[in-house]
Amino acid sequence: MKDSQRVAIITGSSRGVGAATARLLAEKHYHVVINYTKSEKEALDVQAACEALGAETLLCRANVSEDEDCRRMASETIAKWGRIDALVNNAGTTKFCALDDLEGMFKEDFLNIYSTNLVGPYQMIRAVAPHMKRIGKGAVVNIASTAGITGNGSCVAYCASKGALITMTKSLALALGPEIRVNAVCPGFIQGEWLQGGMGYENYEIAKSYLEATLPLRRTATPEMIAPTVLYFIEDAELVTGETLVLDSGNHLGAISTVSSHMVST
């Protein structure tokens, strides 16, 4: 298979950062696996956009919290193209609950969030690792969050899951070299329907306006602003593994106060 036919799996790629990454990789001559669990219409739209850019695609409905689904996604990819060059672990979930509302989070919430945000990436990496090692190299990019660094996010369990994902990135970078590089990116506030739906329109607009007036760089991210850094870790960072890069316009520097405990990190 020619270098122009590299293959990438992007979990949770029906919208947001996952969709933007799929489109960018398609533009860069990757064939892409577009993964979704419920948002079939949106996933089909992403598939059409990628194919319009010249990419071959595989649409795969799979829940990354289920190991069988992860292994099936990897197997279907190998059956179609014979290789896996990159994995972007973007699928994630949360529950919007103020950090000080201790009665608002239950055991089931922690297990649900961890199963998608942490166990899911682990299972996906385990499913693709033998195939990457077989071709001699591969790149994994975990989409974490500044919530995993600052502890400020949509809920305690989400923050904890992303902190664990950052640590797991380091562990698997140690375990999977030299063939496979494993890195993470940590976005802050990302514009889009997902965050707006979770926060509510009014809170979303207040947070966005506040951040864009006070952040050191005076900007909040769009999914399309995050995707090029994912591409960098896949293509260019040949000497980088186990690294975490924060993309939040300087919010993690702590120079500003937060709007509320659930309005800054996604």
Kindly report, residue by residue over 75-116, the tens digit of the pLDDT: 999 999 999 999 999 999 999 999 999 999 999 999 999 999
User: In 3D, which of 58, 68, 42, 47 has the Cα closest to residue 7?
Assistant: 58
- Which residues partner with 184 through β-bridges? 142, 244
Percentage of the chain modeled with pLDDT above 70 = 94
Amino acid symbol at 79: A
Residue 160 lies in a domain: yes
Q: Name the percent of the chain in helix, strand, coil, to the closest 5.
A: 50, 15, 35
Residue 192 lies in a domain: yes
* Predicted confidence (pLDDT) per residue in 164-214, tens digit: 999 999 999 999 999 999 999 999 988 888 787 888 878 888 888 888 898
Q: Are strands 138-143 and 57-61 parallel, antiparallel or unpaired?
A: unpaired
Return the CA Rg of the chain. 18
Domain count along the chain: 1
Residue 124 lies in a domain: yes
Domain extent at residue 148: 3-253
Angle between helices 120-135 and 156-176 (to 10 degrees): 20
Residue 264 lies in a domain: no
CA dist 196 → 70, 132, 189 (Å): 29, 37, 11
Task: Give φ, ψ of 34 to 5 degrees.
Answer: -100, 115
CATH code, domain with 220: 3.40.50.720
36 is catalytic: no
Residue 64 lies in a domain: yes
Residue 261 lies in a domain: no
Please give the Cα distance from 206 to 61 (Å, whole number). 35
Predicted confidence at residue 266, as pLDDT, reads 56
Catalytic choice (30, 36, 114, 158)? 158
* Predicted confidence (pLDDT) per residue in 112-134, tens digit: 999 999 999 999 999 999 999 99
* Predicted confidence (pLDDT) per residue in 27-44, tens digit: 999 999 999 999 999 999
What is 202-232 written as a DSSP string?
HHHHHHHHHHHHHSTT---B-HHHHHHHHHH
pLDDT higher than 70, residue 261: no
Predicted confidence at residue 73, as pLDDT, reads 98
